[in-house]
Structure 1
């Protein structure tokens, strides 16, 4: 009975994490279309909620990676304590980043929490899996975001070099209706699955299932929780990404959205790697901005954002380790 209660606590914490994930990551999902005025904030949020919900049902490869390749918790109550502490670390960081208005990574916060809790417990970290499934994508995805954002914007500038700016803006405002939808779809493919992976890992830990197949109820709950978080908007971070990093017009918004959509689609459906869609979007915005000239980007702001990124894993890991220690001290 006590083990079942602990399992319910972990599932509840996972859904809270999914909500804060949606709250935090809603910003990068809607920022390019709102900043360019291609969509109104209300329409952008409604579209993001719908496509996030749909994306959550289109795969489970990332969920399996989170469940299998990061840590190997012991079975029973101690394993659940590790997962609960990891989720607490991630939630605390997500709320802190949202409060500061900084575009951080809920995915990195979750993995940081898992590693931090595992290191102070009897669980073990799969260092090989962590390197191949997390560290490599963590570095590659933002770099690809910058490169693709730059190249797509460069192609747009060349193809429409003789077209009136007003006509270009009008055309890409229409195109952003599609690219914003695919961006939100990719976000649903990525972010909802991370919650699913934790829920499955909890079920395996207590012996409710032996494989890492995601139950339909876990898919539905994660999808709804992320979508509810997305519906709240995350306007603090929207202001940072939409106004402080680089000016976003419809063409740049389309370039960034197209770049991120390609990357999240590939990493979710082919590579099955958990990436930070927030980092990737931020980098794509910078890449699209630098296609015109380097001065288009406010580099001091971007450097501050990168510093915040680097704090995510150690900070969430430290919080998770402290929570695990408190759970052990209190005998929970």
Structure 2
């Protein structure tokens, strides 16, 4: 059963990668700043970095998702309980990824944990702690993300427009002469000026610095998207790795490494369907809205990770995209948002169903 648990957890990590890896860079691809594979590559690198960093920065989440507190400690330590949770969540996330629906792996885990816990412990399961510790942060995530994204998007749109209008390519020193009115005296002078690459390219100029305002904004966009990927890896990896702790041969470091590699491969192989939903179907992303969504998501998920709060990167990212899109002319696709919200509603009960079935089967 130990091997089956190990495979189940890796499958969960892979489906998590397929469903979640692209969420941080959806704004890069949606705004057509870069293409699909460049976006996915950047997501993979930053998510892997966050996953490895979770060993030192997110120990609170590693402890929270062992099941201790929801069920008695002896049940939480069972390999069969961890297997039911991993398998139930993996099936739930895999079905959502196949449908192109961005759901919360955290929600799927909580559902599977609840279903397996109900079968394992009956009324001895502490579902009150589940609501306080898990459900409240998860439900609040999209609502908290909508407001800052909605408010910051117009400001960042104006920043983008201003950068495009006042584009400066270089800073240079121009050599020249000053002649007196009577034409008898003249002296050389040096003038510091900005201008286009052509204006700074004359024989009487010396270029000090080359820069492009729009390129600087694109760089900022990349960094923000990377911060989302890092925060997602930081937040999701310990939740999945915790299921491997009942295997005595694996410590927390080895468990995190195994999960990180599986998440990386799952994202590279299976992210396209969810990528289309996040990047193209929720709203038409302009650069300003993309910056607002990335900034909001990275700040909220990073803060939650450092404080051990199990927020959903999915809920935060979708909320930020909806808020940023709603502040612009394109608005949001209500049908897609409704479909995503419905998938969130059914995630927990579906995960609970599969978790309960698997635990009843393997115990």
Q: How many residues align?
A: 313
Deviations, residues 224-253 of structure 1 (Å, cap 9, x unaligned)? 111111222511111112221100122211
Kindly indicate whether residue 351 of structure 2 is the aligned counterpart of residue 316 of structure 1: yes
When residues 68 and 81 of structure 1 are mapped into structure 2, their CA distance, relative to the original with a 3 A threshold, is closer
Cα pair 1:63 1:197 within 8 Å, conserved: yes
Moved more, 184-193 or 138-147: 138-147
Runs of 4+ in 1 over 6 A off after TM superposition: 165-169
Deviations, residues 180-201 of structure 1 (Å, cap 9, x unaligned)? 111110111011111122222x
Following superposition of structure 1 onto structure 2, how do residues 33-44 of structure 1 map, counting pairs within 5 Å?
Answer: 33-44=28-39
Secondary structure, in 3 states, of the residue corresponding to 1:28?
coil
CA distance in structure 2 between the partners assigned to 1:25 and 1:129 by the alignment? 26
Kindly indicate whether residue 82 of structure 2 is the aligned counterpart of residue 49 of structure 1: no
Q: How high is the TM-score relative to the length of structure 2?
A: 0.79
Following superposition of structure 1 onto structure 2, how do residues 91-170 of structure 1 map, counting pairs within 5 Å?
Answer: 91-122=90-121, 124-157=124-157, 159=159, 164=164
- Which residue of 2 is the match for residue 196 of structure 1? 241
Unaligned ranges ≥5, structure 2: 168-212
Cα pair 2:237 2:259 within 8 Å, conserved: yes
Kindly indicate whether residue 323 of structure 2 is the aligned counterpart of residue 287 of structure 1: yes
When residues 56 and 160 of structure 1 are mapped into structure 2, their CA distance, relative to the original with a 3 A threshold, is closer
Moved more, 70-79 or 303-312: 70-79
Kindly indicate whether residue 313 of structure 2 is the aligned counterpart of residue 277 of structure 1: yes
Q: Please, which of 251, 254, 258 is the counterpart of residue 288 of structure 2? A: 251
Q: How high is the TM-score relative to the length of structure 1?
A: 0.86
Q: Which has the higher helix share?
A: 1
Cα pair 1:142 1:283 within 8 Å, conserved: yes
State the shift of 1:73 in Å: 4.9
Q: Please, which of 252, 258, 267 is the counterpart of residue 221 of structure 1? A: 258
State the shift of 1:140 in Å: 1.8
CA distance in structure 2 between the partners assigned to 1:244 and 1:99 by the alignment? 16
State the shift of 1:138 in Å: 0.5
Secondary structure, in 3 states, of the residue corresponding to 2:150?
helix
When residues 297 and 70 of structure 1 are mapped into structure 2, their CA distance, relative to the original with a 3 A threshold, is farther
State the shift of 1:74 in Å: 5.6
Moved more, 88-97 or 70-79: 70-79
When residues 71 and 163 of structure 1 are mapped into structure 2, their CA distance, relative to the original with a 3 A threshold, is same
CA distance in structure 1 between the partners assigned to 2:166 and 2:265 by the alignment? 36
When residues 49 and 166 of structure 1 are mapped into structure 2, their CA distance, relative to the original with a 3 A threshold, is farther
- Root mean square deviation, CA, Å: 2.5
Cα pair 1:107 1:274 within 8 Å, conserved: yes
Deviations, residues 73-131 of structure 1 (Å, cap 9, x unaligned)? 56379932222112111111111101111111111111100111110123753324312
Q: Which has the higher strand share?
A: 2
Cα pair 1:33 1:44 within 8 Å, conserved: yes
Cα pair 1:169 1:251 within 8 Å, conserved: no
Secondary structure, in 3 states, of the residue corresponding to 1:71?
coil
- Which residue of 2 is the match for residue 22 of structure 1? 17
Moved more, 60-69 or 132-141: 60-69
Secondary structure, in 3 states, of the residue corresponding to 1:67?
coil
Cα pair 1:186 1:261 within 8 Å, conserved: yes
